[in-house]
Structure 1
């Protein structure tokens, strides 16, 4: 009875050269292994540097991000090349060495992207769960017993872990490198995740039959749809609010909120309300955002704005709502969203007939709590000759659609 054809025998010279290279890689891995504990903090600092230096040293942030992508290309090519060599009968690296290399890339990915997630998460929303889950994955990647058990015994979950790391790489790096919008980066990240989820599904559905192939083809778009539906839980890794304010007046010349007002129904009817947001974005990025005004949870208005990245203090944009419902008392919030539906931040205020219970809109610009609120960027020396006046040479006023004149 004939069995499957044997793989072609490699040439002795080619096998020996390949074996020599693999021995060098094994020896290098053994030398690096005792120092591997340094890799996660180095990756975290590299991510923080890319995030905070991207405005002052655009090339540095781009180079750090490009290095992140190159390591992923090396990991993917190593896996593909290893399978091709095995089919041709060439020796391959031991599983322990390849798993160690993959672990270092996963650690680099998770710790590199954590500063972006920690800084852009709206911690009073479901985004906190997503970011905390990524923190848990980062911790898992440095716990060798758990990580190697996952890699050896839970291959389906291991491939899903790998796919999640691919999602983070694409989500975080593309806005900086290619100046893609947050929505475009999210779509590409989801597409990459679906592709890299295939090994996980194939492993779970073994042995593959015609029925299970059809099931997998049905599951992929379903998983993609669920992921897209949960995008509001994913932080916009390149955008965050660096300042916000509510005010009854606005000085367009200085682009600053002015005046003070107790937000009673009568006062809102007479004066309206300005919502001011300064939004941080990478240099070169143009993004449409939305101020979604909600009254007791009900959407009242969606006012679009277009922002441009690169200004240290954030791109200053505002919306002016003049028409409020007859019964405007209650809780209001303004969701600052990307066009794709990811929340950047929230402004909240209370409208009440009793002036003491109503929010006092005093035009003061509040810096959000969290990592950006620590203002770590001020610890980095300013380039000579820089000033706020120079940074305002870019037109950063809101588009005409920011006025609610209805």
Structure 2
């Protein structure tokens, strides 16, 4: 960086840092306001998610390279960043990240399933990030807990950002986000396991692998952050030319089912350019039946339209039916329900 430019930047930067030191709450207020703005913008214009997600990922470099950046700033500008400012910067990043991803998970969560637990924890983490007594007195002093909080936030950010920025599928994004979060859990585990034995390293590696395996098994409880249903229908009629379903049915007779079969119609919103394979899983009274694969592509504002037509039903089709819309990784996008009666 040219010396003259550095010299010209020093006075305004010093004034900014002095202002922040005198009014430390300004950073927290700015973080909350910008996080709320991210929430509202993403909810209304999903195309802005690509820009915002890129900003979120870049901001994480600050935490990773904090010591190097502090030394570099001291060398360039002739002063060290005060620790309180760094703490507020970290809080700001958590606020930005959590409030950015929250609308995606709120939209994609199937609320009458285990996914509600994950989204509830995410919302609680967002509230902690804007509640100073909890953030600074309960969370920050416990280093292992703070690093766990940090890894969980990064996991949620990657689940949202990877499909949008790199056009990865939902299974690929989940695997990469889980691997990253598991590796970043190493400092937390290191702080918990304080024994001084030769097998400490083996135990740490084993715990990281166990954490990754647990995260993979729990994927059914994690909403697919960038896939959600915009329109659904269970119907006996379908207009193939216009790709439009007939009247939605919540209940039908066994005779209707056998005579006409049944269409399960879903319109799935996905980021631009995303190619994804999903499944319609037909379930009868809790028992899984057919798994029908469908390929979807992102880009249509109202969601990519896909449907399955089931004609083969059991001899006794009475009871409660579900059509679960699943990703290849086993994450539920949504569910359609109907009942067959006499």
* Structures share fold, TM-score greater than 0.5: yes
What is the match of residue 13 of structure 1?
Answer: none
Residue 42 of structure 2 is aligned to residue 50 of structure 1: yes
Q: Would the aligned equivalents of 2:108 and 2:228 in 1 still touch at CA under 8 Å?
A: yes
Q: Secondary structure at the match of 1:153?
A: coil
Give the Å deviation of 1:21: 12
Q: 1:307/1:301 Cα in 2 relative to 1: closer, same or farther (>3 Å)?
A: same
Q: Secondary structure at the match of 1:253?
A: coil
What is the match of residue 325 of structure 1?
Answer: 314
Give the Å deviation of 1:124: 1.1
Q: 1-side partners of 2:259 and 2:218: how far apart?
A: 39
The match for 2:152 among 150, 153, 164 is 164
Residue 189 of structure 2 is aligned to residue 205 of structure 1: no
Q: TM-score, normalised by structure 2?
A: 0.88
What is the match of residue 241 of structure 2?
Answer: 253
Greater share of residues in helix: 2
1:358-373 matched pairs, under 5 angstroms? none
The match for 2:180 among 170, 186, 192 is 192
What is the match of residue 30 of structure 1?
Answer: 21
Q: 2-side partners of 1:144 and 1:74: how far apart?
A: 21
Give the Å deviation of 1:251: 1.1
Q: Secondary structure at the match of 1:263?
A: strand
Give deviations 1:132-187, integer Å, cap 9, x for gaps.
11111111111112211245431111110010011011111111111111111111
The match for 2:91 among 93, 97, 103 is 103
Q: 1-side partners of 2:171 and 2:177: how far apart?
A: 10
Give the Å deviation of 1:28: 5.7
Q: 1:258/1:39 Cα in 2 relative to 1: closer, same or farther (>3 Å)?
A: same
What is the match of residue 180 of structure 1?
Answer: 168
Q: Secondary structure at the match of 1:238?
A: coil
Q: Secondary structure at the match of 2:292?
A: strand
Q: How many residues align?
A: 328
Q: TM-score, normalised by structure 1?
A: 0.75
Q: 1:146/1:190 Cα in 2 relative to 1: closer, same or farther (>3 Å)?
A: same
Instruction: Give the number of the structure whose alpha-carbon radius of gyration is greater.
Output: 1
What is the match of residue 300 of structure 2?
Answer: 311
Residue 137 of structure 2 is aligned to residue 115 of structure 1: no
Q: Would the aligned equivalents of 1:150 and 1:158 in 2 still touch at CA under 8 Å?
A: no
Give the Å deviation of 1:338: 0.9
Q: 2-side partners of 1:260 and 1:169: how far apart?
A: 36
Residue 58 of structure 2 is aligned to residue 70 of structure 1: yes
Give the Å deviation of 1:40: 1.8
Query: For structure 1, which runs of at least 5 residues remain unmatched after alignment?
Result: 1-18, 354-406
Q: 1-side partners of 2:320 and 2:296: how far apart?
A: 28
